[in-house]
Amino acid sequence: MKHLDTDECGFATALNAIGGKWKTEILWEITLAPRRFGVLRRLLPGVSEKVLAQQLREMEADGLVRRQVFPGAVQKVEYSVTDVGRTLNDAVCVMSAWGKAQERRMALRPVVVQEKPRPLIRLRA
Amino acid sequence: MKHLDTDECGFATALNAIGGKWKTEILWEITLAPRRFGVLRRLLPGVSEKVLAQQLREMEADGLVRRQVFPGAVQKVEYSVTDVGRTLNDAVCVMSAWGKAQERRMALRPVVVQEKPRPLIRLRA
DNA sequence: TAAATTACGCACTTTGAAGTAAGTGCCGAC
DNA sequence: GTCGGCACTTACTTCAAAGTGCGTAATTTA
């Protein structure tokens, strides 16, 4: 397990896929079960429809999620994970495990359900 | 390997540690060898001294890097990785491996040495 | 004596993802 | 007939991380 010696290592590619305030949570939710747009909106309190639609489109373009439109009287669009998305979710879980293990030592927020906005973090992509 | 059912999963904690445009690269560089401030500056073309100093201080506070001031004629400060920092770097490498594997499929930038600024990505923390 | 190096600190500006708010087209229910 | 739900789109605003540029104090080199 080694970064490339002189330049890129793949992390940038990974970041490009999960980089986006809600992408990890979107990925997690659709990993649990296929979800409709409105359902996702309700599952992720705080996302605006604009950003949700935007990030779903990007994730679809990246092959992480599948978008299926169901014909019928009322509009119905379902989003589900692809195999690739699932592997990314696994990688994200490794990071989560690290965070979980370090949580106490880091003396961070007490992991309660946070409704209010958390600070934003920037990373290279 | 599972996120918590109702709320946080640890990913936020991890992000708080590596979230910062240069932190993964700083971590990688000091994982290779202890580095002095000025050396890091030169190794990471594009970082401003302000941001480098800032992120190093944050990483020190998070226990990822060790800061050692060497007494002597000229100022000498050395930054090195802690055990915790090393484990984080390992977790980052898992993501990198995913990115590396998906690189071609993602049809992204051809992994050349990029000097010019890349877009910034936001994530929840 | 002037210039450069080392390791920063500080004030101001830029930038762009995300937020806000409003609108769209289609359908069903009341 | 209009009110709400669904799945978005579009124009405008916000805000904090990162960038820019200058200052510093001690020392060393030209």
Residues of chain A with pLDDT under 70: 1-8, 107-125
In this prediction, residue B105 carries a pLDDT of: 82
- Between A9 and B95, the higher pLDDT residue: B95
- DSSP class of residue B59 equals H
Give the largest Cα separation in chain A, rounded: 56
Question: Inter-chain contact B14–A103, Cβ cutoff 8 Å?
Answer: no
In this prediction, residue A12 carries a pLDDT of: 82
Q: Is the CB of B121 within 7 Å of strand C?
A: yes
Question: Inter-chain contact A98–B112, Cβ cutoff 8 Å?
Answer: no
**Is residue A80 included in any domain, yes or no?**
yes
Confidence band for B8, pLDDT divided at 50, 70 and 90: low
Residues of B within 8 A of A97 (CB-CB) are 1, 10, 91
Select the highest-mean-pLDDT range: B17-21, B59-63, B105-109: B59-63
Q: Based on the structure, what is the number of domains in chain A?
A: 1
**Is residue B66 included in any domain, yes or no?**
yes
**Is residue B15 included in any domain, yes or no?**
yes
Domain of A16 in residue numbering reads as: 11-105
- Between A108 and B26, the higher pLDDT residue: B26
In this prediction, residue B89 carries a pLDDT of: 95
pLDDT of B112 above 60 = no
**Is residue B114 included in any domain, yes or no?**
no
> What is the three-state SS of chain A?
CCCCCCCCCCHHHHHHHHCCCCHHHHHHHHHHCCEEHHHHHHHCCCCCHHHHHHHHHHHHHCCCEEEEEECCCCCEEEEEECHHHHHHHHHHHHHHHHHHHHHHHHCCCCCCCCCCCCCEEEEEC
Is A86 part of the contact surface with chain B (CB cutoff 8 Å)? no
B70 CA to C17 C1' distance (Å): 41
Is A115 part of the contact surface with chain B (CB cutoff 8 Å)? no
Q: Is the CB of B13 within 7 Å of strand C?
A: no
**Is residue A67 included in any domain, yes or no?**
yes
In this prediction, residue A35 carries a pLDDT of: 97
B6 CA to D4 C1' distance (Å): 30
Task: Please tell me the distance from the alpha carbon of residue A26 to that of residue A18, in angstroms, as a whole number.
Answer: 10
pLDDT of B43 above 90 = yes
In this prediction, residue B10 carries a pLDDT of: 82
**Is residue B113 included in any domain, yes or no?**
no
A76 CA to C14 C1' distance (Å): 42
Question: What average pLDDT does this structure show over B21-47?
Answer: 94
Confidence band for B122, pLDDT divided at 50, 70 and 90: low
- Side by side, the strands of the sheet bearing B65-70 are B35-36, B76-81, B65-70
Confidence band for B15, pLDDT divided at 50, 70 and 90: confident
- Between A66 and B102, the higher pLDDT residue: A66
Residues of B within 8 A of A19 (CB-CB) are 121-123
**Is residue B41 included in any domain, yes or no?**
yes
- Between B125 and A66, the higher pLDDT residue: A66
CATH number, domain with residue A64: 1.10.10.10
Model confidence pLDDT, tens digit, residues B49-69 = 999 999 999 999 999 999 999
In this prediction, residue A8 carries a pLDDT of: 67
In this prediction, residue B59 carries a pLDDT of: 96
* Mean pLDDT, rounded, of chain A: 83
**Is residue A123 included in any domain, yes or no?**
no
